[in-house]
Structure 1
Amino acid sequence: MRNSSKQIRLCDCNRTFDLDAGRLTEQAGAADVSVHHELCRRELSSLEADLAAGCDIAVSCTQESALFSEVADSVNAGQHIRFFNLRETAGWSVEQSAATPKMAALIAAASTLPEVEPVEGVQMAAGRALLIVGEAGVALGWAERLAASFDVSVLMSSRAGEAELPADNAYPVWSGNPQSLKGHLGAFELAWEQHNPIDLERCVRCNACVKACPEGAIGFDLQVDADKCRSHGACVTACGEIGAIDFARRDTARSETFDMVLDLSSTPLLRRVELPDGYAAPGRDPFDQALAVQTLGEFVGEFEKPRYVAFESGLCAHSKSRKIGCNNCIEVCSTEAIRSAGDVIAVDPWLCKGCGTCSTAPSAIAGFRFCSPSLAFRSSTPMRLKGT
């Protein structure tokens, strides 16, 4: 059985600011206020004991919230501890000597305001299907390094120097011009146009076409240089029954889905203020590319993130009878998670990172839902579920 009253644990962080327990208790109207100097160190055992005894406790320190939460979890009281920031918001301010009323207000809020309602989450899952897109040599180089750790696929979007396809056909390699990239972690979809007459999926990499081409228009990356090619057809004859070369191919549209994307293009496929998790565009620097690869590896697994926005379609002024009125939330969304859907808008919860900018729209149809501190702390990155 839990105690009905809430304890307020204040800490002056090794006596770095003044706390008047008597005045704070009187002004805040809180019944059980205690002041500590080293709550996260020497006095931690007293906090653990009270949590184990069934007390609901509010602690005035957010810096050590991870430590305090771990202690609470160890005595099965994780849901009975909450935090508020007294040090940075009042104690360490330039007006510290006159900050007691502000401190009292913060304490009163922590002791009387109801707990934040749980926010619905959305599930995300990502396997090891990694697309590497970019200049042939760089993309193939990273594919060779990562083939043992990821299920890699390569889209060569341009040629530079003398790149050569791997001798073994261990992973898919395509060539073409990227047209669009959409989706989110675990469900990216890339569409491209295959401009190369050689179908690399059918090609057996015998290099017969390379040897047969009289103009030397085919390199060991099995790409046809259109500026050199005079369409003699010698390569088609050399390819024979394999049938991988077709200069009259009409069906050039291609698309595939992937869990993650490593974009090594000179111009990134996505240009947003906030990029989706699982997509990295590190540029040309090898060190930045290595850091991006390391980060992508952390997104393999199952995750949960909050559904930040509650959309009120009845208040939406976006459109009526397909005549556009308001685009405010669409224009300010840094993740491009909001799009037009007929006379209303649609919010993609898998792309939304909870910045709250859309909630400033005049009609406030995109209501921002605040989540608990433990959830909001990692709002920009999906959280790995326990056991995965």
Structure 2
Amino acid sequence: MPTLICDCNKTMPLDADALGAALDEKLVLHSTLCRHEAGAFQQAVGGSAPVTVACTQEKRLFAQIGEHTEAAVAPVRFVNIRETGGWSRDASQAMPKLAALLTAARLPDPDPVPTVGYRSAGRLLIVGPLDEAERAAAMLDDTLDVTIFARGPGAAGASQERRHPVLAGRLESLQGWLGAFDLAWVQDNPIDLDLCTRCNACLAACPEGAIGLDYQIDRDRCRDHRACVASCTTAGAIDFARAPERQEARFDLVLELGGRTLFEQHAPPQGYFAWNGADPAPLLRLRELVGEFEKPKFFDYKQSLCAHSRNDTIGCRACIDICSARAIESDKARQQIKVNPNLCVGCGACTTACPTGAITYAYPRMTDQGAVLRTLLSTYARAGGQAPVVLVHSQEAGRAMVERLGRDASLGRLHGVPANVIPLAVWHTASLGLDAWLGAIALGASQIAILATAEEAPQYLDNLAAQLAVGQAILDGLGYPGPHLHLLRPDTPQALDAALRELAARRPGVPAAPARFAMVREKRSTLDFALDHLIAHAPAARDEIALPGGPPGSGSPIGGLAIDKDACTLCMSCVGACPSSALLDNPDAPQLRFLEKNCVQCGLCVETCPENALALVPRLLPTAERARARVLNETAPYHCVRCNKPFGTQKAIEAMLARLGGHPMFQGAGLERLKMCGDCRVIDLYSGANQTRITDL
């Protein structure tokens, strides 16, 4: 697998021998790979083995060279080693990190997943003041089929030439996504825009000036002189007696002018753009959205693991509350959540908030992310690196900030990314959670830093901070000197530079030996692997580690259960509600058992218990007791007064007798039947009815 490295006109102190030893490959160091030495790339892509290019600056140029190279079939992967470490004041010490980045780039691409399709015919709805909307439409109508929904005339008002259909009225709703935006509005103005000729006679006739250049009447200013009606007799566009009419229409794309009001969620649907009138990017993007498109279906959902609802009782709402696209809702009829794949933007926040792993990130899967982490850390260690800090950042704004840091370092303004800080680009920082972070610490990372930028929704940051607090509490409780987990929110490259230098200088406690497990798709399994390794190497573990509480998804996904034995009747409602088999009954005895390792702290058992006898206890037991089923409560069985067969618990029957004993239906024989098993109760009822018939005869 050929690897091409370049010191970018000798601005990076690359050690080709050290990198080659780590990659088990003889490397040739280039200085102008993208220019005078481009022939080396052309020769490499002539084979069939994948090619790794340690430069991302000239990807377009390399693509053009590949197109003009005969028999060029080798797949090419690009990795940035320049801004991520080569341009840094300690770049000469960064060879282990650069080797790790190059090795990880060689990993195969994730397996394909199902896709979500969109189809757009270019029907664009522009919403805003009419004059601004017409100016925006003029820049787009050569490519798109534009309709305007006017919200007032604007400063200048409409032009006399009508080039596009114009809608107006009371906007009721706009919902949907690329190719399927449904607009509903009420046409409640006396002026019918389809009939209006824009002759301006009504504007001239109105004594209050209640008619604007959007050709709609302001009813608050109108004093019912009806001079406008008289001026419009020929066109007949004005009718104050016209009943409001609800209208609907479908569009493929939406452009809202000014501030965003149509979609309040942090992540609006694909196909919607807000435009401030200056940045041309939204207009350019709109032009590209005609045709058929697809994106990965980013999530997998396994209803059997979901802790959202059981028996009409709502437990966990973590994924619903955190979704910035409002793509997840409660499906009450089916007792589960429902995810709209068309609205999902693939941030992965729901998967990290989910305590059970019922909803998981599908592209890339945790197996793929885990392979990248394991490769980075193992290669770094094998090349002699120490105390690696994994810097998780997004592929858009986060990557740009890291690259800006490297560029400023090349100019001597900043230090740059330290030699032991390994950047890890992910689709979104919210897509990795507690299982990945603790897994990375177990695999050899000394610290995990999450780089947050302005693109993160506020609820994402709250959730990240809460989960980081849980993870750090676990590491502290196990005796690993820290801190290990960090949420970075720098607003400038200078602030990021200072934060990374501070982290790079720390040497927190880590396991004596790195783990060898592979991260798997099942979230709880990966978390258990990480915890088992961290516990096995813990310097000084407490008998019980208290963890931060909170609602499911923001509190600990690990913990125990406290029970009020006096209140509990062992009705076993909690057993039926538990989605993770943490609560168990005993078919041979009236016992409620609990397997703490399985508990996800979803709270369904607490909500279901009719006696309010249960309470969640967020904690970690670093002992064997965590993996053993133990008895939470037990009682003597109640025996049928007729056949002496056990059929329930003594406490449950006594509680039932106390509650129903005063009811008129349960007096005398009725009360006595409550003390019988189901079979004897039926026999007693029939025998009593037959005895009544014999007496009557």
TM-score bracket, normalised by the shorter chain, equals 0.7 to 0.9
Other-structure match for 1:274: 267
Matches of 2:345 and 2:362 in 1, distance apart?
Answer: 11
1:287 aligns with 2:271: no
User: Which of 137, 152, 158 is residue 158 of structure 1 equivalent to?
Assistant: 152
| Contact 1:165-1:221 at 8 Å conserved across structures | no
Please tell me the residue identity of whatever aligns with 2:262: L
1:22 aligns with 2:17: yes
1:54 aligns with 2:44: no
Matched residue SS, 2:191: coil
Matches of 1:160 and 1:234 in 2, distance apart?
Answer: 24
Please tell me the residue identity of whatever aligns with 1:273: H
1:176 aligns with 2:188: no
| Contact 1:7-1:32 at 8 Å conserved across structures | no
Other-structure match for 2:110: 116
| Contact 1:125-1:303 at 8 Å conserved across structures | yes
Which structure's CA Rg is the greater one? Answer: 2
Task: Give the CA deviation at 1:195.
Answer: 2.5
Q: Deviations over 1:33-70 (max 9, x none)?
A: 43322222222212212321333322222333333344
User: Which of 297, 300, 305 is residue 310 of structure 1 equivalent to?
Assistant: 300
TM-score by length of 2: 0.45
Distance 1:121 1:43, change over 3 A: farther
User: Which of 61, 83, 87 is residue 88 of structure 1 equivalent to?
Assistant: 83
Matches of 2:289 and 2:345 in 1, distance apart?
Answer: 16
Distance 1:295 1:56, change over 3 A: closer
Other-structure match for 1:328: 318
User: Which of 346, 350, 364 is residue 354 of structure 1 equivalent to?
Assistant: 346
TM-score by length of 1: 0.76
Matches of 1:261 and 1:239 in 2, distance apart?
Answer: 36
1:72 aligns with 2:66: yes
Other-structure match for 2:372: none
Please tell me the residue identity of whatever aligns with 1:91: G
| Contact 2:197-2:235 at 8 Å conserved across structures | no
Matched residue SS, 2:45: helix
Matched residue SS, 2:44: helix
Matched residue SS, 2:56: coil
Distance 1:71 1:140, change over 3 A: closer
User: Which of 284, 287, 290 is residue 297 of structure 1 equivalent to?
Assistant: 287
Please tell me the residue identity of whatever aligns with 1:201: D
Other-structure match for 1:99: 94
User: Which of 28, 41, 50 is residue 34 of structure 1 equivalent to?
Assistant: 28
Matched residue SS, 2:182: strand
Higher helix content, 1 or 2: 2
| Contact 1:268-1:281 at 8 Å conserved across structures | no
Gaps of 5+ in 1: 1-5, 381-388
Distance 1:122 1:223, change over 3 A: same
Matches of 2:40 and 2:92 in 1, distance apart?
Answer: 29
1:131 aligns with 2:131: no
Matches of 2:254 and 2:360 in 1, distance apart?
Answer: 30
Gaps of 5+ in 2: 369-394, 398-426, 429-697
Distance 1:27 1:217, change over 3 A: closer
Q: Deviations over 1:3-23 (max 9, x none)?
A: xxx222222222333333333
Other-structure match for 2:2: 7
Please tell me the residue identity of whatever aligns with 2:57: Q
Distance 1:180 1:209, change over 3 A: same
Q: Deviations over 1:216-260 (max 9, x none)?
A: 75556442332344557776786599686353515x322211122
Matches of 1:196 and 1:136 in 2, distance apart?
Answer: 16
Matches of 2:74 and 2:318 in 1, distance apart?
Answer: 38
| Contact 2:47-2:72 at 8 Å conserved across structures | no
Tell me whether 353-362 or 138-147 shows the greater mean CA deviation: 138-147
Identity across matched positions, percent: 40
Bigger RCO of structures 1 and 2 (CA < 8 A, at least 6 apart): 1
Tell me whether 40-49 or 82-91 shows the greater mean CA deviation: 82-91
Task: Give the CA deviation at 1:196.
Answer: 0.9
Please tell me the residue identity of whatever aligns with 2:109: E
Matches of 2:140 and 2:82 in 1, distance apart?
Answer: 46
Tell me whether 184-193 or 131-140 shows the greater mean CA deviation: 131-140
Matches of 1:260 and 1:254 in 2, distance apart?
Answer: 18
Matches of 1:187 and 1:7 in 2, distance apart?
Answer: 46
Please tell me the residue identity of whatever aligns with 1:317: A
User: Which of 325, 328, 332 is residue 338 of structure 1 equivalent to?
Assistant: 328
Q: Deviations over 1:143-188 (max 9, x none)?
A: 46655553221222335578457465x5322211222222222222
Please tell me the residue identity of whatever aligns with 1:24: L
Matches of 1:86 and 1:277 in 2, distance apart?
Answer: 33
Tell me whether 360-369 or 78-87 shows the greater mean CA deviation: 78-87
Matches of 2:100 and 2:206 in 1, distance apart?
Answer: 81
Please tell me the residue identity of whatever aligns with 1:105: A
| Contact 2:329-2:338 at 8 Å conserved across structures | yes
Please tell me the residue identity of whatever aligns with 2:302: E
Tell me whether 175-184 or 53-62 shows the greater mean CA deviation: 53-62
Matched residue SS, 2:20: helix
Task: Give the CA deviation at 1:97.
Answer: 3.4
Please tell me the residue identity of whatever aligns with 2:301: F
Matches of 2:12 and 2:213 in 1, distance apart?
Answer: 70
Matches of 2:61 and 2:249 in 1, distance apart?
Answer: 44
Matched residue SS, 2:275: coil
Distance 1:322 1:210, change over 3 A: farther
| Contact 2:297-2:362 at 8 Å conserved across structures | no
Tell me whether 88-97 or 40-49 shows the greater mean CA deviation: 88-97
| Contact 2:150-2:168 at 8 Å conserved across structures | yes
Matches of 2:18 and 2:258 in 1, distance apart?
Answer: 62
Matched residue SS, 1:352: coil
Tell me whether 306-315 or 189-198 shows the greater mean CA deviation: 306-315
Other-structure match for 1:256: 249
Please tell me the residue identity of whatever aligns with 1:318: H
| Contact 2:14-2:92 at 8 Å conserved across structures | no
Matches of 2:148 and 2:159 in 1, distance apart?
Answer: 11
Matches of 1:143 and 1:83 in 2, distance apart?
Answer: 39
Other-structure match for 1:383: none
Distance 1:17 1:156, change over 3 A: closer
| Contact 1:135-1:160 at 8 Å conserved across structures | yes
Matches of 1:291 and 1:23 in 2, distance apart?
Answer: 43
Please tell me the residue identity of whatever aligns with 2:356: S
Distance 1:11 1:311, change over 3 A: farther
| Contact 2:46-2:73 at 8 Å conserved across structures | no
